[in-house]
Structure 1
Amino acid sequence: MKAFMINKIKYTMLWGGVALAILGTASCKKDYEAEPLENVTIDYVFDRLDSLGINAGRYLNGLYADMFPRDVSMNRISGNLLEAATDNAIPSNLEDNPAVRLLQGQYSAFDRIESDMVWGLLYENIRSATIFINNIDVVPLNDSKFEALPTGLTVKRTWKAEARFLRALAYFELLKRYGGIPLMGDEVRSLNDKIELPRSSYSDCVNYIVSEMDAIRDSLLYYPVPNPSRNSHRVTKGAAMALKARVLLYAASPLFNGGNIDGGNPVTGYASFDNNRWQRAADAAKEIMDLGTYALVDDVRKVFTEQYNAEILFFKQWGNNRDIENTNGPFGFGTQIGGQGQTSPTQELVDAFPMADGVPIDQSSNYDLNNPYTGRDPRFYQTILYNGARWLGTNLQTYIGGQNRPGGSELQTRTSYYMKKLMGDFEEAAQYSESQRDYILFRYTEVVLNYIEALNEAQGSVPEVLAQLKDLRRRAGVDAGDDGNFGLPTNADKATMRQLIQNERRIELAFEEHRYWDIRRWKIAENKLNLPLHDMQILENGGQFTYSREEVFQPRFTTAMYLYPIPDSEVLKNNNMEQNPGWN
C-alpha cells in the first residue's frame, strides 16, 4: 500500500481546478518536501486535520490525470488516431504499427496491443478511485474555505461523486472492450492479494454503471460551471448523464442485445433481444437534451479549439500545443513547419459525405467523377484535406508526384487525403501555431445522435427522428432544398433511417474515436473490415486531373475480434476468470 501511495503522490501533473487552482495552495513539490516520500501513507494523504484537503485534492487531481486514456494526445495508438484502425482511415506508416495490428487482428491474449488493450491500467484507476471514495470522509473539509458551490452541494460530496464517475468510466472502458468484467465494489485489495473473482455478467455491469450515475448526478457541478477557467474540466451532472446514455446505447446495440457472439453466455451480452433497451437509451439521451443547457455549436471547429462552449459535456485537459498538426498535417511543407501526415483518410470515408444538398453521391446527378470534390456537404471540407484544398496559404497537391504526395520513403498520405478535423484554422496561415486543445470524451452532437438512433430502433422512423436529423444538417450548412428536408427522405422506414443515422454519425463524429466502437456494437465490422479499403490515385497532366479508385489496404476481422481477449496473465492467476470466445 505504501509503495502504491508513493507512486500516486509522485505524480506531478496538476489539473488546474480540482484542488490547486481552487485552493490557491503552493506547488506540489514544496508541500510534500516536509514529509519524506518513503513515509507517505494513506493517513498523510487523507489527513484528519486538513480542512483545506490539500493532499486529498492532489490525489483527486491524480485520478483525473490518470483517467483513460493516460496519453491525453488524440494520437494515442503509438502516434495514430484510433480512427486509423477502422474503415475511415489507415496509418500512413504501415510498418510495425499497432493500428495495423488492430486492423488485421494481429494480437492475442498473449501478445496484446497495450495502447488500447488496457486491462491493467483501468483496474489500477478503479482501485485508486476506490481508495479516494473510501477515505475522503475522514478529511474535515471546510466549505467556507473553498470557492462557493451551487446551492445544495458541498466540496466533499462533489469530490466523492467525481471519483465515482471516474471509476464508472473506467468500468465502461473495460466493458466495451471485454464484455462483462469483475466488479470490485468498494473493497480495496492490495497488490499481493490473490483475487479469484469471476467475471460479472454484462447485464450486472451495465446496471452498476447506470445506478452509479443515477446516484451521483445531483451531487455534481452542472453546466455552466462557476469560474470555468478553473472548473470546466470537472465532472458535471451532464457528464454523468452522458455516460449513462452511452452505456445504455451500447447495451441496446446488436452486439450485446440479441447478437451475443457466444449465445447465452451472460458475460458476452444478453441472452435475448429486448426492444425496451433501445427505449431506455433514447430516454436517457433525451433527458440531457431536456436540460436546455447544452446546444449544437454553429462552428464545429471551435468545439475542438475553444474551451467553455455549450457543446462539450466532458473533456480531458491537454493544453496549448500543435501536436495534431505536427503529427497529422500534410507532408511537404518542410521540417520547420512540420506535418507528418500520420493519418490517411480512406476513399470509403470520403464517399460517405453526401452532396451539398444532402443527397448521397451515388444518388445525385450533381456528382462529377472528374471533379469529385466540388459541391459536397460542408462537413467534408471541415474533415478532409484533398487535392486542391487550401492549407498553409497554398492549394494542396496530393496527386502522384505533387508537393504533398511526392513519393519516396518519407511519411506521407497513402490515399491522397489528409485529416483536417481537429486541427486549427490554418488555411491561410504561414505556419502552425499553438492552440488550446482538449480531449473531448462527451459532446452534445453525440447525445443527439444517440437519441435518434435509439428512438428509431425503439419506435421506428417517427417524425422526431427526422426533425433532429434536419437540425444536425441545418447546423452543418447543408442546403435545405425546396422541400426543407436537407436531402432526407420524408417516408423512410426504420431500416432506411437506420442507414441514414449510421452514416450521419460516421461523418459527424469522424476522428473522435466513435467509428471503431460503432461498427463493433452494430455488429457490422465483419462486413466493413473484410473488404479492401481504397485510395484515390490522382494523375496530373497539364493542369488537368484524372481520378481512379484503387485498393490500398486489406483489413481482416473475425467474430472473436468483437471483444478483446482477456490478458492471459489474468486467466492464469484466476481460476474463475473466463476467457472470451475465440481467444483460448
Structure 2
Amino acid sequence: MKRNIKHLVIMLSACYTLASCNDEFLNTDPLGEVSESAVWTDPALAEAFVTGIYQGFGQGGFNEEMLASLTDEAIFTHPGRGLNNITEARINSADVGWNSDARRTYNWQRLYSYIRRTNIAIENLSDPQFDNTGGIVDRLLGEAKFMRAYYYHDLARYFGGVPLIARPYELGEETYEEPRATWEETVNFIIADLDDAATLLEGKSMVPGRTSELAALALKSRVLLYAASDLHDAPTAQSNATTLSGFSDIDLLAYTSGNRTERWQKAQAAAMEAIQKGSGNLFGLSSPVSHEDGIQNYINNSMARNGGENEIILGRYFINAKQEDGGRQGLFNGPNGYNNWAGNTPVQLLVDDYEMMDGTEFDWSNPAHASTPYENRDARFYASVLYDGAQWKPRSTANMPKDPLGQIQTGTYEVTDGSGTKVTHFGLDTRNSSIEDWNGSYTGYYFRKFIDADPAIVDQNTWQEVPWPIIRYTEVVLNYVEASLELGQEEEARNWLNQIRFRVGQPAITDTGDALVERYRNERRIEMAYEEQRFHDVRRWMIAEETFGRQANTISITGTLKSGQTLSTYRYDPGVYNYEYQVVPIDPGKENRLWLDKMYFIPIHRDEINRNSNLVQNPGFD
C-alpha cells in the first residue's frame, strides 16, 4: 500500500511540472471496464448487457444432478448432493436441499440477482439514448421483459407468490423489505411482461438461444396452464392437502376467487396462439409412422436435428469451442462400463409406464411381457433408455475384448471358463463390474435421451452439441390438450394428442372421460421425460402422494445358459440364454422416498426471512 501511495505522489508531482499534464489526468475511465452510462448510449454494449442476462439459464437442465432425479423418473447415483433431502421430504428453511448458486434451480437470491439485471435493462431501454435502428431497442427491451417474466415464473412455480420488484433498487433507500404478492398478482405481473415482450418482438427473426415472440407466447401458455391447475385453486388445493388447508395466507399460493373455467379458457387460447405461430416437427400426420421411423423421429426431436430443430422454441445451446458442463451429458449419465458416471438413471416406475407398440399398457402379470420386457415397446422407450441388451457404442479399446459388440450389460450371467465350467459374469454396466463399479447404476438402466450415439463422441473425453429445450413446441401442444380436456373438448384434445403419438408410431387414443385424462398425463410423462416437466406437473395436478411417494425401484436380471450352450465372452443372446427379470425396490439405505404435503412448495430460506421481515413462510415450514 505504501508503495502505491508513493507512486501516486510521484505521478501527481510530475503532473505539475510537465506541460503535457492537464485537468483530465485523474478523470480517465478504467481501461478494463465500461461505465454504466456508456453502456446505454451504445447499441452494441446494450446488447451485450442484455445477452448477459441469459446467463441465468445456467446449463439449462444439463447439470450433473438433474431435476428428473427429484421425481419418479430417475434416481441420482452418487451420495452427498442434497437430493435425498427433497425426495425424503427432509428439507427445512435452513436446508432447502439440492440447490446451488451456479445452477438454474430454485435459488431465491440468484434468481433475484438476474431480475435486478432485467430491471436495469428495462429502465434504460424504456427511455433509450440511441436510435431504434432496425428495431434494436424494441428487440432488446422485449428480450429483457421476457427474461424478467421467465425468472419470476421460475420463482413462482417453486414458491408461489413472491415480492414483485419492477425497478432496480438504489443505495440508501428507506427500506428494501417487500411483502410477497398474491398468486394472482404474481401471475398477472408475469403475463403483462410476456404480452409486452410478444408485442415488442413481433416480426423479429428468431435467433437460436435468444427469445422471440413465439417464446413469449409459449411461456404465457405454460404460466396460464399452471395458474389454472388444481394446486393454484384454493378450494381444490385445501381439500387435497392438509398442510394447505390450515394455511391462513392461501392467496399467496392460489386463487381465492374468480372463475376456474375462464382460467382454463385463457390457458387454451394462449396455447393455440403459440401453436399457430410455430410448426414443431411432423405435426399433421393422419396415421402412425413405422416403429423404426418413430424411434428416429423422437431421437431427432430430442437432439434438435433433421427437422427436430423446429421443436426448440427457446433453447440453451452448447458448442465444443466452449467446453461447458451442458455438453457432458454422456459423461454425466452414460454407463460405467463406458467409463462414465451414471448420474441420473431411469427407475423402473418410468420404464413400466412406456406403452406397448399396440397402445396397451405394459403389465408384469402378463407372461409375454414379463419374459421379454424390452420388446415391442413405445418407440420413445428405445430413444430414451439404455436397457439390458440394448445396442450402444463401441467400448474403449481397453474394454472392447470384454464386449466386442457394444451391448449394455446390467445383469448377472453365466459364462464358461477354459475348462467348460460355468462361472458368474457380472455385467460390465453394473455395480459389480470390472470397470468403475462405483459408478454403476442402482436401477439397471441408463440415460439415452439427449446423448449422441455417434461413436466419435467418446463421452468421457469429448463434448457434444445438443441444446437443452427450455421451451419445446410439443409442450405447448400438450398444454393445449390439457386445457381442452378441462373444458370438456375431448375430440379436440384427442386430435392433437394423436398427432404427437403418430409421429412416434403409436396408435390413436380413443379413450373418453377420466381414462382420457390418465392417457394424456401418461403421454406427457413419456413425451417430456427428463425435460423438467414432471417435477412441476405432479405437483400442480396434486397427485404427488401416489407418484413421488412411491419408493424408487430397479430391475434384477439373471441370464442362465440354456442346456448344451457354452459361451466364454458374454453377449446378449436369447438363443443362448434364459433371462429372468424381477422388479425390486431400491435399498432404503440408498434412498427412502416419502411424500409430505408441505413439499408442494419449496420453503423460503431462513436467511431471506431474516433479511425481510415482511416475508411469509410457505406452509409446513418455520
Is TM (by shorter chain) over 0.5? Answer: yes
CA contact (8 A) 1:344 1:415 kept: yes
Deviates more, 1:186-195 or 1:528-537: 186-195
Q: Is 1:92–1:342's contact at 8 Å kept on the other side of the alignment?
A: yes
User: Is 1:74 aligned to 2:61, yes or no?
Assistant: yes
Q: Which residue of 2 aligns with 1:13?
A: none
In structure 2, what is the equivalent of residue 353 of structure 1?
354
SS at match of 2:96: coil
Residue 182 of structure 1 pairs with residue 163 of structure 2: yes
Shift of residue 575, structure 1, vs aligned partner: 2.1
Question: 2:136 matched to 1:98?
Answer: no
Q: How does 1:103-502 map to 2 (within 5 A)?
A: 103-113=87-97, 114-115=99-100, 116-137=105-126, 139-142=128-131, 154-190=135-171, 194-220=175-201, 225=206, 231-257=207-233, 258-260=236-238, 261=244, 262=247, 265-271=250-256, 274-291=260-277, 293-296=279-282, 299-306=297-304, 309-320=309-320, 322-333=327-338, 338-362=339-363, 367-393=368-394, 394-400=406-412, 401-407=426-432, 410-426=438-454, 431-432=458-459, 434-460=463-489, 462-478=490-506, 480=507, 485=508, 488=509, 490-493=510-513, 495-502=514-521
SS at match of 1:161: helix
What SS does the aligned partner of 1:476 have?
coil
Cα deviation digits, residues 446-471 of structure 1 (max 9, x gap)? 011111111101225x2111111111
Report the Cα offset of residue 139 of structure 1: 4.8
Q: What amino acid sits opposite 1:91 in the alignment?
A: F
1:176-230 Cα shifts (integer Å, max 9, x gaps): 01000011123534498631211100001111111221122121155863xxxxx
3-state DSSP class of the match of 1:560? Answer: helix
Tell me which amino acid in the other structure corresponds to 2:429: N
Bigger mean CA deviation after superposition, 135-144 or 442-451: 135-144
Which residue of the partner structure matches residue 505 of structure 1?
524
Q: 1-side partners of 2:46 and 2:336: how far apart? A: 46
Given that 1:199 and 1:577 are in contact with CA atoms closer than 8 Å, whether structure 2 keeps it comes out as yes
TM-score normalized by the length of structure 1: 0.83
> Residues 96 and 602 of structure 2 are in contact (CA less than 8 Å); yes or no, is this contact kept in structure 1?
no
SS in 2 for 1:541: strand
CA distance, structure 2, for counterparts of residue 166 and residue 292 of structure 1: 20
Secondary structure of the corresponding residue to residue 554 of structure 2: strand
Deviation at 1:302, TM superposition (A): 2.6
Corresponding residue for residue 16 of structure 1: none
**CA RMSD in angstroms, aligned pairs only:** 2.5
Q: TM-score, normalised by structure 2?
A: 0.78
> How far has the Cα of 1:439 moved from its partner?
2.1
In 2, distance between residues paired with 1:271 and 1:139? Answer: 40
CA contact (8 A) 1:538 1:548 kept: yes
Uncovered stretches (5+) of structure 1, i.e. residues with no partner = 1-33, 226-230
Task: Indicate how the Cα distance of structure 1 residues 292 and 233 shifts in structure 2: closer, same or farther if over 3 A, else same.
Answer: closer
Q: 1:138 to 1:255 in 2, by over 3 A?
A: closer
Q: Give the structure 1 partner of residue 564 of structure 2.
A: none
Decide whether the 8 Å contact of 2:364 with 2:370 is kept in 1.
Answer: no
Aligned residue for 2:319, secondary structure, equals strand
Task: Judge conservation of contact 1:73–1:318 (CA < 8 Å) in 2.
Answer: no
Partner residue, 2:51:
61
Equivalents in 1 of 2:248, 2:265: separation in Å? 23
Larger Rg computed on CA atoms = 2
Does 2:36 correspond to 1:42? yes
| AA in 2 matched with 1:323 | R
Greater Cα offset, 500-509 or 358-367: 358-367
CA distance in 1, matches of 2:549, 2:73: 14
Q: Which among 519, 525, 529 is matched to residue 544 of structure 2?
A: 525
Structure 2: which amino acid aligns with 1:324? Q
Cα distance in 1 for residues equivalent to 2:452 and 2:69? 20
Give 3-state SS (helix, strand or coil) of 1:181's partner: coil
Instruction: Tell me if structure 2 keeps the 8 A contact 1:530–1:555.
Output: yes
5+ residue gaps, structure 2, are 1-27, 239-243, 284-295, 395-405, 413-425, 562-576
Distance 1:242 1:83 in 2: 22
8 Å contact kept, 2:346–2:446? yes
Cα distance 1:540–1:172, how it changes in 2: closer, same or farther (>3 A)? same
Q: After superposition, give the CA deviation of every residue in 1:27-76 in whole Å (9 maximum; x if it has no partner).
A: xxxxxxx94278754213223xx3xx2221211121112x23x3x15343
Letter in 2 for 1:564: I
What is the percentage of aligned positions where both structures have the same residue?
30
- Greater RCO (CA < 8 Å, at least 6 residues apart): 2
Counterpart of 2:61, as a letter, is M
Aligned to 2:621: 583
- How far apart are residue 315 of structure 1 and its match? 1.1
Q: Is the 8 Å Cα contact of residues 431 and 441 (structure 2) preserved in structure 1?
A: no
Question: Kindly tell me: are residues 431 and 363 of structure 1, through their superposed partners in 2, closer, same or farther at Cα, counting changes over 3 Å?
Answer: closer
Q: Which amino acid aligns with 1:492?
A: T
Q: 1:501 to 1:224 in 2, by over 3 A?
A: farther
Separation in structure 2 between the aligned mates of residue 37 and residue 190 of structure 1, nearest angstrom: 26
